[in-house]
Amino acid sequence: MKAITRRRFLSQSAAGLAAAAATGVLQSRSAGGAPSANDAVVLALVGSGGRGTALAEGFNQLPSVCFKHVCDVETSRGQAMAKKLSKAGYGETQYVADIRRALDDKDVNGLIVATPEHWHALATVWACQAGKDVYVEKNVALTIWEGRKMIEAARKYKRVVQAGFQNRSAPYAATARDYIKSGKLGKVVHVKVYNMLSGGPWKAAADGNAPQGLDWDRWLGPAKSVPYNSSRHRDWYSWYEYCGGAYSGDASHQLDLARMVLGDPGTPKAAYCAGGNFAYGSQRPTPESQIVTYEYADFTMTCDHCTFPPYMRKSNGEERYGKKFPFWPQNNERIEIYGTKQMMYLGRHGVGWQVLEGEGKVVAEEKGYHPDKWHQPDFVESIRTRKMPNADIEQAHQSSNLVHMANISYLVGNQRLMMDPATERFTNSDAANALLKPAYREGYRVPDQV
């Protein structure tokens, strides 16, 4: 099917429309080029699990945006998603088993990468090399080294690479940043980030046979080859081979939001993490508790993370969609910003912010709204206009690195690690530097030269 613009497409006869829909999706201009206002933005989804589904359904509702491919290593899941995304007037969305089939397609402008973390960097680098823009979920990379490679690929191939740190598109986050910048809080000297999730005891399942229709070898991709294990597959958040644990899964959002409202401070000079499986003593490879301190030049930031307390509360619907503020002391994903004059409570997921002085007096506040509604159009706009996306990979990498620094400190025995921001290497631990880059499998290597 030859390329077709939206205007031409819409002016076709009903018969023409039906024929176009039957043969393929509305096509974008050329690979690597920005689609004009009249061209469709053609996307491919990589990973159709929980988050991939939510993202794809959101993107698919945007005008002149369609999905030509769904790629998943679980055939039935990918096929079902492709069926769901087929959009009237844009033809059928096709299922592909291998991400490279979507990358070979000249019609595709952008990839939405919602796989586990061990695939993020490779998928992003391959996509940039193929001339595609990328929306990649957080935590953006599995290690510090490969996050840097993602930036190099984005810049070298002039690609938009937007991270799934959607809080960066929230208008209330921008006003919180402005408030802090105005100096009304006074000098910010301490920031406390909370990620206090509920949880329970954890035990790994025994190795077994991969379910039918799952390409386990490709699921593992860059990671070490191991027999199929349902805990690795379904609970990949708990394994360092595929993710930085729940600290990466959730705390990364608050750490990124904290950095954003503070004006994006660079790499902290040191980080220290203590923790362990204190609550349940379970076998989970990633710890149930992590208490982290980040040292910046003129302030400190801490993050209290755990996966046990049943009395802490996630923000509910009313709080996420602008109806009311949470009871902050029990909110499990809040940020507290302490200035010399005032303090700010800030929530993610659209929860908003409040500033307090003595006697509990609220002196300023703004309610928020869940930010996906701005973040997804922001990526599409960046594809069309080539503007920098709100959560560009450089800042996303800096935020992701806070997770990596904490995890590496924990893994090398709770060492206070000093980092040289210019080289993104630790200056006081060879053991820590050995954890900067994954040991890739042949065929799935992020190249040194992107």
Ligand X SMILES: NC(=O)c1ccc[n+]([C@@H]2O[C@H](COP(=O)([O-])OP(=O)(O)OC[C@H]3O[C@@H](n4cnc5c(N)ncnc54)[C@H](O)[C@@H]3O)[C@@H](O)[C@H]2O)c1
How far is the C-alpha of 295 from the C-alpha of 303, rounded, in Å? Answer: 12
- CA-CA distance, 410 to 286, in Å (whole number)? 10
Nearer of residues 235 and 295 to ligand X, judged by Cβ: 235
Shortest Cβ distance from residue 101 to ligand X (Å)? 11
Which residue in 351, 399, 375 sits closest to 54, CA to CA?
A: 375
Q: Does 166 bind ligand X (CB under 6 A)?
A: yes
Cis peptide before 407 (omega within 30 of 0): no
Q: Which is nearer to ligand X, 237 or 426 (CB)?
A: 237
Residue partners of 445: CB distance under 8 A and separation at least 6: 122, 222
DSSP state of 439: -
For Cα atoms 179, 180, 185, give the angle at the middle one, nearest 5 degrees.
100
**Residue selected from 244, 249, 268, 339 as contacting ligand X according to rule CB under 6 A:** 249
- Smaller CB distance to ligand X: residue 74 or 133? 74
Nearer to ligand X, 39 or 256 (CB): 256
Between 403 and 432, CB nearer to ligand X: 403
326 binds ligand X (CB under 6 A): no
Rule CB under 6 A: is residue 245 a binding residue for ligand X? no
Stretch that binds ligand X, among 73-81, 272-280, 296-304, 391-399 (CB under 6 A): 73-81
Query: Is there binding between residue 51 and ligand X (CB under 6 A)?
Result: yes
Least distance (Å) between residue 236 CB and ligand X: 6
Instruction: Answer for the pair 20, 26: CB distance below 8 angstroms, yes or no.
Output: yes
Among 25, 27, 74, 179, binds ligand X (CB under 6 A): 74
Determine which helix (DSSP H) or strand (DSSP E) holds 259, and give its type and residue range.
Answer: helix 252-261
Question: 27, 48, 79, 94: which one contacts ligand X (CB under 6 A)?
Answer: 48
Q: How far is the CB of 90 from ligand X (least distance, A)?
A: 22
CA distance 44 to 100: 11
Nearer to ligand X, 50 or 310 (CB): 50
Taking the complex as a whole, how short is the minimal distance between the CB of residue 162 and ligand X, in angstroms?
11
As given in the structure block, the two tokens for residue 427 are: 């200056």
Strand partners, 101: none
Contact with ligand X (CB under 6 A) among 84, 155, 218, 314: 218
**Cβ(300)–Cβ(190) below 8 Å:** yes
Q: Which of 41, 71, 196, 262 binds ligand X (CB under 6 A)?
A: 71
Residue nearest to ligand X (CB): 49
Residue found by looking up tokens 């090399």 in the block: 129
Out of 47, 244, 268, 438, point to the residue binding ligand X (CB under 6 A).
Answer: 47
What is the Cα–Cα distance from 239 to 216, expressed in whole angstroms? 16
Q: How far is the CB of 20 from ligand X (least distance, A)?
A: 28
Distance in angstroms (rounded) separating the CA atoms of residues 260 and 371: 14
Q: Compare residues 51 and 425 and give the one whose CB is closer to ligand X.
A: 51
List the alpha helices (DSSP H) in 94-223.
99-104, 120-129, 144-156, 171-181, 216-220
If you ran DSSP here, which 8-state letter would residue 243 be given?
A: -
Rule CB under 6 A: is residue 52 a binding residue for ligand X?
Answer: yes
Q: Which residues contact 219 (CB under 8 A, 6 or more apart)?
A: 73, 74, 233
Residue 231 binds ligand X, judged by CB under 6 A? no
Q: Check residue 49 for interaction with ligand X (CB under 6 A).
A: yes
Site string for ligand X, 97-126 (x = CB under 6 A): --x--------------xxxx-x-------
Interface with ligand X in residues 182-201 (CB under 6 A): none
Among 15, 50, 311, 359, binds ligand X (CB under 6 A): 50
Nearer to ligand X, 35 or 147 (CB): 147
Please select the residue that binds ligand X; options are 6, 29, 68, 77, rule is CB under 6 A.
Answer: 77
Q: How far is CA 398 from CA 33, 140, 214, 346, 404, in A?
A: 28, 10, 34, 20, 10
Cross-strand partners of 273:
292
Binding footprint of ligand X on the chain (CB under 6 A): 46-52, 71-74, 77, 99, 114-117, 119, 137-138, 164, 166, 218-219, 221, 249
